[in-house]
Structure 1
Amino acid sequence: MNLSPIPFAVRSTCPYCGVGCGVTATPLPDGAIAIAGDASHAANRGRLCVKGAALGETIGLEGRLLHPAVREDGALRQASWEEAIERVAGGLRAIIDEHGPDAVALYVSGQLLTEDYYVANKLMKGYIGSANIDTNSRLCMSSAVAGHKRAFGADLVPGCYDDFDLADMVVLVGSNTAWCHPILFQRIARLKDARPEVRIVVIDPRRTATCELADLHLPVKPGTDVWLFNGLLSYLAKSGVQDTAFIDAHTNGLAQALDAAQVDCADPLAVARHCRVEPSDLMAFYGGFAATTKVITAFSQGVNQSSAGTDKVNSIINCHLLTGRIGQPGMGPFSITGQPNAMGGREVGGLANMLAAHMDLDNPQHRDTVQTFWSSPRIAEKGGLKAVDLFKAIEAGTVKAVWVIATNPMVSMPDANQVQRALEKCELVVVSDIIASTDTNAFADVLLPALGWGEKDGTVTNSERLISRQRAFLPVPGEARADWRILADVARRMGFDGFDFDSSHAVFDEHARLSVFRNEGARMFNLAGLCGLTAHEYDTLEPVQWPVRRGADGALQGSARLFADRRFAHADGKARFIATAPRAPVNAVDPEYPLVLNTGRVRDQWHTMSRTGRAPRLADHTAEAFIDMHPQDALLYGVREGELARVSSRWGAMVARVQHGGGIARGSVFVPIHWNGQTASDARVGTLVNPAVDPVSGEPEFKHTPVQVERFGVAWHAFVLSRSELALDQVAHWTRVQGRGFARYEMAGRGQLRERAAWARTLLGVTDDADWLDYEDASDGVYRAVHVVGERIEQCIFLSPRTDLPARAWLASLFASESLTRLDRAGLLAGQALGMRLDTGPTVCSCFGVGRNTICDAIAKQDLRTVPEVTACLKAGGNCGSCVPEIKVLLMQTRAREAA
């Protein structure tokens, strides 16, 4: 098969966060793909974060699922598409015939394109007749959806990114924007540089990299956001800041919302005590908000991922409704989505409690509208099972078949061990994926190879309602197919009409036409201007924000903002204040588990790392999972920085390395979400997470799980850099990341190693006649060895009873050399760089590969005082800017050492 890419630059969209950056992909003569930001795309204007910039490193076919597979006698074997489709369609049909449509389910993903999502929703709700289709977007933004629907009457984000440029105050709530949405963060940073008087407020229990930009950081007690914003609502009302004309003409429910806000939240001092913030800081926030008309309040997972997430969202929206700060430039509540097409999934009804085109399952007129348009034999009549309840139903046996598409619930779901029990018991597990081996795929009865980014074609919608094209620039690998096509193939095999799509363009056109069907202005989601696009018009579609219409000249007209006319989507056209009674997180207090676990992302990784884990430059910043905790808590619980510890809850446990990041309050710990069964022995944080959910949105409580931390005792620590894969069955703890031409393994063991050389040779698979250089200090337990093939390093291992192992960066650089020098060989055995080769230290700037030691050395030797000076000297911080907060810290630390 010809795997040559299309021989010209293609404009597409980044597949990571909800910022929705435009990218260009250009083939190079050596077969690589050059990725750059699309300067014409409104979301990023040519900028990319390091994850987006590294996309070219993730498109290889290593580990790809390229052919269908079916399970027989406990083992998967390659199968034809004909057999695989029949296995899926026949299995679903048999279960439906015996147990009814609610006995089957789809669990899909914000990684899907809108066209994929549309066909999945149509199949389940309109033809199978069940609403048992939910998405991993349930885990990150469903509270925002529920809050929008309660306040506005539909899932509507009022503003756009341009509003950040126009604001006089930006409040970031539960959002480490610097790491999770770097391009949007850099937009805010540029605003601050241009207008220093703009106030930046960060509300987050942790002091994250985002706080380095803030004028004010409120480190609220986890779970107290409703207290904080109810207090703000009460303060604004008492201060006379409300927009009475707007409230009277365009809202309902203020009295009830204010009554709820008076309970425990009328006194700012009481709010400060409950939220554990300084009263002066709280009043600075309240006073600043009251005095500033153009305020953007942007919120993300720290708000949504809570058993009170929907109330948190509405408590924020209430403050904007009270002041009338919505629908106008530079102001409003703003939900920042986590995935590239979380918004597109919402447009087509991808959640279990929604219908396509922003219509409602509990509305008989809406159900009739959708069924009539689809000419479908039936329509789901009630909401389906949301993610957590779905997997509980699978374990209970009421759902007997599940089709998982483009997601890895064995890692990402809360109480992930329960997900494992569910998949083990499920009669039929189908998985569509691009990767052959994931934690979830291990339980599949049928594996279906899907197209990946760069191969598939369709649309995505970002956080500001901007629809963009994601275009193919790579050929189809193996037998992979588009997800919409796989779904349509199964639907037709099940005997359903209505799935004769021949392209993503055909799917999109049907999606657009549904948005205007029986829509006489009643539904704000409206793609009238995109109906009837030709294939060429679809291929060349420029980014546009919905609602979309056409002007008199036929040109597309998007909508930057909603509610400028003060009309909302409730039947009476008015917005709703929602009474939000403060309440503690579910399972908040547990004497046996005295610490509170918070989870989230790290800077350079994405979800469960099936894509980012392929890019070596993305592994350098954070190479393994960690437990971030306060030094006093570490002392209290008998664990030390740099050593391994076990975190456990009532639902599960995991092991990772303790660190003191300096941003965590006493009583809390933070663990990243990314590591899985392919990248670590025991680091799936989902096994710990509290499965309590918000009663309205069904979103789980990822930010508040009672846990305990204890020492994970080991006898030795080691790391290996190896060009070949290792078998690690006998190692008590390990983590694996991809380097440039090698894999890096961090490991630890419990048993004493008496024959270290023999053990190391066995682990690395080295024969007796190999070129093997080693050093051993038997009394100290230290062992070092290097395996050389020809003149090139093949593998190296460093072992010690302590954690003080040599720096990895300079060792990794040796793998780029075609031959080892004598000094290199001596340095390998000495455990440190010798001669002219320098240890650059852990990576700070992943875009340009600049290490911490390099930055600190330049600061000291060249008397650098500012980030721009560091950038001019080393390039660090000059691309996506994600590392700028860390560079600021290094500047302060280096200057402090010099002053001492």
Structure 2
Amino acid sequence: MSTPYYIPEQNVPLPPKDADVITTACDYCIVACGYKVYRWPVKGGKVGGPKAKENAFGVNFPVEVLGPWVAPNQHNIVLHNGEPHHVVILPDKQARHVNTDGDSSLRGGCIAQKCYNPQKPTRDRLTTPLMRIHGILQPVTWDLALDVAAAVARHVIAKHGDLAYAVKTHSYQYLENTYAIKKYALRSVNTVNFAFHDAPSPVSSTPGFRDAGFDNFGPSYQDWKDAETLFICGTDPYETKTILFTQWIKKGIEEHGQKTIMMVPRRTAGVAYVEKHGGLWLDVTPGTDLLVVNAIARLIVENGWEDKEWIKNWVNDKWGSSSGFGQGTRNTPWQWRTTWGQFQTKGFDDWKKWITSQDEFKLANAARVSGIDPKKIMKAAEMMAKPVNGKRPKTSVMIEKGFYWSNNTGNTVAISALGIIVGAGGRPGQVIGRAGGHQRGGAGGGKYPRNKSPMKVPGRRRRALDTDTWLISGHTRMAHVIGTTWIQSMCSSQELAARFQELTAGNPHQVRSINKDKIIETLKKRADSGGMVVINQDIYLVDPIGNQFADIIFPVATWGEDDFMRANGERRLRMYHKFYDAPGEAKPDWWIIGQLAQRMGFEGFDWKNSNEVAEESARSSRGNRKDYNMIKVAAKREGKTLHQKLAEFGTEGIQGPVMMMDDGTLVGTKRLHDTTRKLPATGAAGANMINKKATHF
């Protein structure tokens, strides 16, 4: 009997001088550091040497700290055009943006191990379509899997209505994939039984930001560095967005003495660093953030430290909002949710009167409930707003999920008000926004058909359908789950898991034949009997949604396996190039959706490659934070594709929204709500679209 053990690699090959060099970005956190992939054939045994003239880096080895040294985790062997190739994946050492020191997080530094290699843990990747027959997932052809899925879907929609067909999907993946999925679900199937990975309904996670007029990702990374005081709530960027901390926030602390306040329950590594360098830790008891934020705001206005000029120039009174200036007009979700202004203050003075009249926001009470020393809360208010020698501090506010997922409405409304009174708007070093979780790859393939939702709030108003309760109630007869676990990512309750089990494996109608017609007939009977058919589309077999409940599995190609576009937390658009073959028969989401949609009789899904999807999606991006339509316009003028044009920006990319100047030059947007930005006096020309978020709120 032998014991398996791991033998680490002792040698890593250097890429030779003629290795292919492909740009990409890290696939993990929101920061999306720029990377370069060095690729060359295994055949022939060619490798680079230690002298500058012998390797693709053009440097002599050994190299300086943070130089292009190759660790074992940065090397892998993949298939390219069916032949084994070495790949070495390193952060771009010439990067001028994002990871400006050519550094990476520990996660990103090991991203070469994400590539499929059957001799490594990625051997578990899905490589072929699967279908559950006799209770066992068995390999089948793409044609069989797609034909069965389409036939059952057509039946479910025809007999039980489009609300019986659910699509639960990632919102964060690549623009080409999310566009295809939303076009299919929202425009073609036109189902309201649709939700993203992080919520049971397509709703805002930060409604307070929306009401105040703040975009979640308005700031640039430079702004986080340039702030004189930075208030961070609900995250430690060092732990979760390492390069954002080390390349930007940490440099702000070191170079100009930024004072950083972190409100998190744990004393993390980031907290320890901040405290050591003159910052402040608000050791909040989970769930009490709202009291602390409003206590800080109350202290600021009681002492007259609010940014009076900013408030005078940029904050609406009730008449302004009700008349259609800024957020809060009566045709927006804001007024519907607040019962026609019942809870709306009349402006800053009215809000000040309200917050100073609430006992729960008194310093002593907030300190007692939150567990934070009252002296620290007072210190935070001073650091954020108290003028020194007549000069106000440049304060920015950063939030993330630990803050807004606990009480998203109350917390984000409170932090928006605090941000407003300290002048954190759209000026260099004075911003408010999210730090970010996943990268931003959502594209607008279709509009959510809210009016079809059977769920309502008092009166005639409809709300987005809750896909969890709809499924538990037995109304979902077919569930198409894409890139998410559903059960674990939602309430993760025994009730939801038990209901999945009951509606799928617990239903008497189980496939026990390899005949396509019999398979289709069986799954139709299950749906008609009150059961549910499940399609799971993912890169790995996930438990339990795929392993236990799915009837059909679609294997997906991902990062490095097709050409994709995506943006990071400062809206920086870049190409994520294909550099190796997808495992087995795995296909990208856009291809799978396109094939399924065509079999269901929907038109407009006959894309030949990911660039065609990207170009179709470009128009739908107009006016949003990632607006890349003008990149396509420029590409067509030059006889290029959208992907080719964006690729010219390399790892630098370009920040959305993208505008085109009169001479054809493409210009990105450093920050949204930029009150210092000067737009053309004549307004948007040609195909340009300027959203009011460019310079206003």
TM-score w.r.t. the length of structure 2 is: 0.71
| 2:645 corresponding residue in structure 1 | 537
| 1:471 corresponding residue in structure 2 | 577
| 2:240 corresponding residue in structure 1 | 180
Q: 1:393 to 1:260 in 2, by over 3 A?
A: farther
Between the aligned partners of 1:338 and 1:110, the Cα distance in structure 2 is 12
2:565 paired with 1:459: yes
Q: 1:450 to 1:7 in 2, by over 3 A?
A: farther
For residue 110 of structure 1, report the CA deviation from its aligned partner: 4.3
Q: 1:139 to 1:166 in 2, by over 3 A?
A: farther
Contact 2:367 2:373 in 1 (8 A): yes
For residue 416 of structure 1, report the CA deviation from its aligned partner: 4.0
Between the aligned partners of 2:377 and 2:307, the Cα distance in structure 1 is 23
Contact 2:146 2:595 in 1 (8 A): yes
Q: Deviations along 1:463-498, whole A, 9 cap, x unmatched?
A: 111112211111132111110110111111110112
For residue 103 of structure 1, report the CA deviation from its aligned partner: 0.9
| 2:87 corresponding residue in structure 1 | 33
Contact 1:25 1:34 in 2 (8 A): yes
Q: Which residue identity lines up with residue 381 of structure 2 in the other structure?
A: Y
Q: 1:20 to 1:422 in 2, by over 3 A?
A: farther
The 3-state SS of whatever aligns with 1:432 is strand
Between the aligned partners of 2:409 and 2:36, the Cα distance in structure 1 is 37
Between the aligned partners of 1:363 and 1:554, the Cα distance in structure 2 is 42
| 2:675 corresponding residue in structure 1 | 565
Q: Which residue identity lines up with residue 408 of structure 1 in the other structure?
A: T
For residue 194 of structure 1, report the CA deviation from its aligned partner: 2.8
Q: Deviations along 1:298-353, whole A, 9 cap, x unmatched?
A: 111111221x213212211212212332100011112022112xx322x537xxxx
The 3-state SS of whatever aligns with 2:540 is coil
Q: 1:437 to 1:135 in 2, by over 3 A?
A: closer
Between the aligned partners of 2:200 and 2:462, the Cα distance in structure 1 is 21
Q: 1:348 to 1:21 in 2, by over 3 A?
A: farther
Among 295, 300, 303, the residue aligned to 1:231: 295
Contact 1:165 1:330 in 2 (8 A): yes
The 3-state SS of whatever aligns with 1:531 is helix
Between the aligned partners of 1:125 and 1:58, the Cα distance in structure 2 is 32
Between the aligned partners of 1:328 and 1:497, the Cα distance in structure 2 is 46
Q: Which residue identity lines up with residue 562 of structure 2 in the other structure?
A: K
The 3-state SS of whatever aligns with 1:409 is coil
| 1:8 corresponding residue in structure 2 | 20
Among 421, 432, 436, the residue aligned to 2:541: 436
Between the aligned partners of 2:312 and 2:264, the Cα distance in structure 1 is 34
The 3-state SS of whatever aligns with 1:293 is coil
Q: Which residue identity lines up with residue 96 of structure 1 in the other structure?
A: I
TM-score w.r.t. the length of structure 1 is: 0.56
Between the aligned partners of 1:328 and 1:240, the Cα distance in structure 2 is 22
For residue 133 of structure 1, report the CA deviation from its aligned partner: 2.4
| 1:157 corresponding residue in structure 2 | 217
| 1:115 corresponding residue in structure 2 | 176
Between the aligned partners of 1:574 and 1:52, the Cα distance in structure 2 is 35
Q: Which residue identity lines up with residue 665 of structure 2 in the other structure?
A: A
| 1:808 corresponding residue in structure 2 | none
The 3-state SS of whatever aligns with 1:247 is helix
Q: 1:140 to 1:565 in 2, by over 3 A?
A: farther
Matched residues, number:
534
Between the aligned partners of 1:198 and 1:48, the Cα distance in structure 2 is 23
| 1:171 corresponding residue in structure 2 | 231
For residue 213 of structure 1, report the CA deviation from its aligned partner: 1.5
2:193 paired with 1:132: yes
2:452 paired with 1:397: no
Among 469, 480, 498, the residue aligned to 2:586: 480
Structure number with higher relative contact order (C-alpha < 8 Å, ≥ 6 residues apart): 2
For residue 526 of structure 1, report the CA deviation from its aligned partner: 3.5
Q: 1:158 to 1:84 in 2, by over 3 A?
A: same
1:638-653 → structure 2 map (5 Å cutoff): none
Which deviates further from its counterpart, 408-417 or 275-284? 408-417
Contact 1:189 1:213 in 2 (8 A): no
Between the aligned partners of 1:322 and 1:361, the Cα distance in structure 2 is 37
Between the aligned partners of 2:40 and 2:488, the Cα distance in structure 1 is 36
The 3-state SS of whatever aligns with 1:222 is coil
| 1:261 corresponding residue in structure 2 | 355
Q: 1:362 to 1:242 in 2, by over 3 A?
A: farther
Contact 2:384 2:422 in 1 (8 A): no
Q: 1:301 to 1:439 in 2, by over 3 A?
A: same
Among 444, 449, 454, the residue aligned to 1:348: 444
| 2:259 corresponding residue in structure 1 | 199
2:89 paired with 1:52: no
Contact 2:40 2:87 in 1 (8 A): yes
| 1:220 corresponding residue in structure 2 | 284
Q: 1:169 to 1:210 in 2, by over 3 A?
A: same
Q: Deviations along 1:692-724, whole A, 9 cap, x unmatched?
A: xxxxxxxxxxxxxxxxxxxxxxxxxxxxxxxxx
Contact 1:409 1:419 in 2 (8 A): no
Structure 2 unaligned blocks of 5 or more: 1-17, 43-76, 78-85, 317-346, 387-391, 453-460, 505-531, 678-689
Q: Which residue identity lines up with residue 21 of structure 1 in the other structure?
A: C
| 1:338 corresponding residue in structure 2 | 437
The 3-state SS of whatever aligns with 2:211 is helix
Q: Which residue identity lines up with residue 274 of structure 1 in the other structure?
A: V
Contact 2:147 2:599 in 1 (8 A): yes
Q: 1:309 to 1:156 in 2, by over 3 A?
A: closer
Between the aligned partners of 1:139 and 1:33, the Cα distance in structure 2 is 40
Q: Deviations along 1:396-432, whole A, 9 cap, x unmatched?
A: 2111211111122343333343332233215111111
Among 217, 229, 243, the residue aligned to 2:307: 243
| 2:377 corresponding residue in structure 1 | 282
| 2:556 corresponding residue in structure 1 | 450
| 1:299 corresponding residue in structure 2 | 399
For residue 514 of structure 1, report the CA deviation from its aligned partner: 2.2
Q: 1:15 to 1:96 in 2, by over 3 A?
A: same
Q: Deviations along 1:658-714, whole A, 9 cap, x unmatched?
A: xxxxxxxxxxxxxxxxxxxxxxxxxxxxxxxxxxxxxxxxxxxxxxxxxxxxxxxxx
The 3-state SS of whatever aligns with 1:20 is coil
Q: 1:143 to 1:218 in 2, by over 3 A?
A: farther
For residue 116 of structure 1, report the CA deviation from its aligned partner: 0.4
Between the aligned partners of 1:296 and 1:189, the Cα distance in structure 2 is 11
For residue 558 of structure 1, report the CA deviation from its aligned partner: 0.6
Contact 1:250 1:566 in 2 (8 A): no
Between the aligned partners of 1:526 and 1:29, the Cα distance in structure 2 is 38
Contact 1:144 1:335 in 2 (8 A): no
| 1:713 corresponding residue in structure 2 | none
Q: 1:394 to 1:51 in 2, by over 3 A?
A: same
Q: Deviations along 1:232-281, whole A, 9 cap, x unmatched?
A: 22222222233334334432343554355332344222222222111111
2:423 paired with 1:324: yes
Contact 1:168 1:199 in 2 (8 A): yes
- Taking only the aligned residue pairs, the percentage that are identical comes to 25
Q: Deviations along 1:178-209, whole A, 9 cap, x unmatched?
A: 21111111124542553363211110111112
Q: Deviations along 1:347-390, whole A, 9 cap, x unmatched?
A: 537xxxxx66xxx86699xxxxxxxxxxxxxxxx97643xxx31
The 3-state SS of whatever aligns with 2:295 is helix
The 3-state SS of whatever aligns with 1:298 is strand
Q: 1:570 to 1:557 in 2, by over 3 A?
A: closer
| 1:42 corresponding residue in structure 2 | 97
| 2:616 corresponding residue in structure 1 | 510
Q: Which residue identity lines up with residue 630 of structure 2 in the other structure?
A: G
Structure 1 unaligned blocks of 5 or more: 1-5, 350-354, 365-380, 576-900
Among 137, 140, 149, the residue aligned to 1:76: 137
